């Protein structure tokens, strides 16, 4: 009974968290990104239904760029007249740039990108005045979301509400005095752990490497059948350090290419990198059944680790990191990936060591490796030909919701 109740409570909490940041029609947003060199930029988002209130128009929810275009200048003027940013350096002029549309369940959000001018360095505090739409709808709510602030440990967080505005509360203050390199490094360590844990292809490659670590191969003259080629290791420590050595070569390799790619010294096409990563799983699994490089498992880990590093680099690129924090970000992310790998190793290896002498274990190696080869082939077909069958995304969604329910994200 309690188990069912806890599941219901978990799902309700997840639902409330999701709804808490839904783009409701009577809400508008300021998203900001704060960089260590003093640059502050972001975007305004206003629902098209709120635009109708402002301009006395009758724009549809599924509005097109051509239909909103005649009203862009009027909306910009309204925003500038009802928003301001001030710090100890004085008032900062809002430089509005490109505009866009973002469809949501409750209509369409009209977006206006901006940056704050006259910002020579990051202030200690930033006073924000926001009085949009309240004169037309006193139930309207405005939110300022700190989407990115590396020094505060905020990396691409679209739900990090820092200030709330109502008809009676039209101003608030952002405090930047707690910004530090340490916060940014810690945030990147968390990102590294998170992305190795949800990176199914990286996990499966590690699994392919770990599976045979608790057995030794017999000499060719001693084996008769495919399942008879393995014999269990006797001691934990040598076997553990053997796989730790292999994982270390994997770490060294992906650290090299992650750094080269992030610093834009070497770049490779994403489709090629992702296809080779998929291939690496199949090859490592095939090596478990029929050895390709006898006694050189570390070489497979190192060579393909180079391509996994390019894959990690694409993750860093998606995080929108700023050049001023890139070196520290690389350090933190690498540490996080290594911690994530060690956690996976510590979870899987002891279990495999416990069952290594059972008659079923050779079959686990063989059939498990065959399954990995099938998954590898599936991913290669998807990535080489740009197809999307949806299975991988469904698994990722399930894993993400599981982590959220467990409080790990």
HEC-encoded secondary structure of 35-83: CCCCCEEEEEEEEHHHHHHHHCCCCCCCCCHHHHHHHHHHHHHHHHHHE
Same domain for 106 and 221, yes or no, is: no
User: Which pLDDT score is estimated for 104?
Assistant: 84
Asked if residue 4 belongs to a domain, the reply is no
Same domain for 173 and 193, yes or no, is: no
Same domain for 172 and 195, yes or no, is: no
Instruction: Decide the pairing of beta strands 215-217 and 83-87.
Output: unpaired
Asked if residue 73 belongs to a domain, the reply is yes
Give the three-state DSSP class for 175. strand
Asked if residue 7 belongs to a domain, the reply is no
Number of domains within the chain: 2
Number of neighbours of residue 368 by Cβ within 10 angstroms: 16
Token pair 């990104």 is found at: 33
Asked if residue 2 belongs to a domain, the reply is no
Instruction: Decide the pairing of beta strands 27-34 and 141-149.
Output: parallel
Q: Work out the angle between the directed axes of helices 297-318 and 326-355 (0-180°, nearest 10).
A: 140
User: Which pLDDT score is estimated for 173?
Assistant: 96
Same domain for 154 and 200, yes or no, is: no
Same domain for 174 and 188, yes or no, is: no
Same domain for 151 and 287, yes or no, is: no
> On the CB side of 98, how many CA atoms lie within 13 Å of its CA?
3
User: Which pLDDT score is estimated for 399?
Assistant: 58
Strand order in the sheet with 90-92: 90-92, 83-87, 125-130, 171-175
Instruction: Decide the pairing of beta strands 141-149 and 40-47.
Output: unpaired
Asked if residue 3 belongs to a domain, the reply is no
User: Which pLDDT score is estimated for 404?
Assistant: 60
Q: Report the C-alpha gap between 196 and 283 in whole angstroms.
A: 20
Asked if residue 1 belongs to a domain, the reply is no
Asked if residue 340 belongs to a domain, the reply is yes
Give the burial class of 262: count Cβ atoms within 10 A of its Cβ; 0-12 exposed, 13-18 middle, 19 or more buried.
buried
Q: Report the C-alpha gap between 321 and 191 in whole angstroms.
A: 12
Same domain for 134 and 236, yes or no, is: no
User: Which pLDDT score is estimated for 218?
Assistant: 75
CB 209 within 8 A of CB 282: no
Same domain for 226 and 273, yes or no, is: yes
Same domain for 174 and 187, yes or no, is: no
User: Which pLDDT score is estimated for 398?
Assistant: 61
Among 130, 160, 179, which residue terminates a domain? Answer: 179
Token pair 């090859």 is found at: 283
Among 131, 157, 179, which residue terminates a domain? Answer: 179
Among 179, 212, 229, which residue terminates a domain? Answer: 179
- CA dihedral angle for residue 311, residue 317, residue 321, residue 322, rounded to 10 degrees: 120
Contacts of 177 (CB under 8 A, 6+ apart): 124, 125
Q: Residue 152 belongs to what domain range? A: 15-179
pLDDT in tens, 355-380: 999 999 999 999 999 999 999 999 99
Task: Please give the radius of gyration of the chain, using alpha carbons only, rounded to the nearest integer.
Answer: 26
Q: Report the C-alpha gap between 141 and 134 in whole angstroms.
A: 8
CB 310 within 8 A of CB 273: yes
Same domain for 237 and 105, yes or no, is: no
User: Which pLDDT score is estimated for 174?
Assistant: 95
pLDDT in tens, 210-230: 999 999 887 664 555 777 788
CB 44 within 8 A of CB 59: no
Give the burial class of 211: count Cβ atoms within 10 A of its Cβ; 0-12 exposed, 13-18 middle, 19 or more buried.
buried
Give this prediction's pTM: 0.74
User: Which pLDDT score is estimated for 14?
Assistant: 41
Asked if residue 373 belongs to a domain, the reply is yes
Same domain for 173 and 194, yes or no, is: no
- Phi and psi at 154, nearest 5°, equal -110, 115
User: Which pLDDT score is estimated for 358?
Assistant: 92
The stretches in the chain having pLDDT less than 50 are 1-2, 6-20, 221
Same domain for 33 and 122, yes or no, is: yes
| Backbone conformation region of residue 378, classed left if phi is above 0, alpha if psi is from -120 to 50, else beta | alpha
């Amino acid at each position: 009974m309690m188990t069912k109740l806890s599941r219901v409570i978990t799902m309700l909490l997840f639902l409330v968290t999701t709804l808490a940041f839904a783009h409701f029609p009577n809400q508008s947003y300021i998203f900001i990104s704060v960089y260590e060199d003093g640059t502050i930029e972001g975007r305004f988002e206003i629902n098209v239904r709120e635009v109708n209130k402002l301009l006395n128009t009758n724009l549809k929810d599924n509005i097109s760029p051509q239909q909103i275009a005649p009203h862009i200048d009027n909306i910009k003027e309204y925003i500038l007249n009802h928003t301001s940013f001030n710090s100890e350096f004085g008032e900062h002029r809002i430089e509005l740039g490109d505009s866009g549309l973002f469809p949501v369940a409750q209509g369409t959000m009209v977006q206006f990108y901006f940056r704050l001018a006259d910002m020579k360095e990051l202030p200690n505090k930033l006073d924000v005045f926001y009085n949009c739409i309240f004169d037309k709808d006193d139930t309207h709510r405005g939110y300022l979301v700190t989407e990115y602030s590396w020094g505060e440990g905020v990396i691409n967080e679209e739900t990090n509400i820092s200030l709330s505005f109502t008809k009676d509360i039209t101003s608030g203050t952002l405090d930047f005095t707690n910004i530090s390199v340490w916060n940014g490094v810690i945030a990147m360590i968390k990102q590294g752990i998170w992305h190795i844990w949800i990176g199914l292809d990286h996990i499966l490659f590690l699994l392919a490497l770990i599976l045979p670590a608790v057995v030794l191969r017999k000499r060719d003259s001693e084996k008769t059948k495919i399942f008879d080629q393995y014999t269990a290791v006797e001691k934990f420590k040598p076997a553990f350090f053997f796989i730790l050595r292999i994982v270390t070569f994997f770490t060294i390799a992906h650290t090299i290419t992650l750094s080269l790619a992030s610093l834009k010294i070497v770049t490779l096409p994403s489709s090629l990198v992702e296809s080779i990563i998929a291939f690496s799983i199949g090859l490592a699994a095939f090596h478990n059944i029929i050895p390709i490089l006898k006694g050189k498992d570390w070489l497979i880990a190192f060579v393909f680790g180079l391509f996994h590093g390019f894959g990690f680099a694409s993750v860093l690129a998606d995080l929108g990191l700023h050049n001023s924090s890139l070196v520290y970000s690389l350090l933190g992310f690498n540490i996080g990936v290594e911690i994530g790998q060690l956690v996976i190793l510590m979870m899987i290896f002891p279990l495999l060591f416990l069952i290594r002498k059972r008659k079923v274990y050779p079959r686990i190696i063989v059939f498990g490796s065959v399954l990995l080869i099938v998954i590898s082939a599936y991913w290669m077909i998807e990535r080489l030909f740009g197809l999307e069958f949806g299975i991988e995304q469904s698994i990722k969604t399930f894993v993400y919701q599981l982590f959220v329910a467990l409080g790990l994200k």
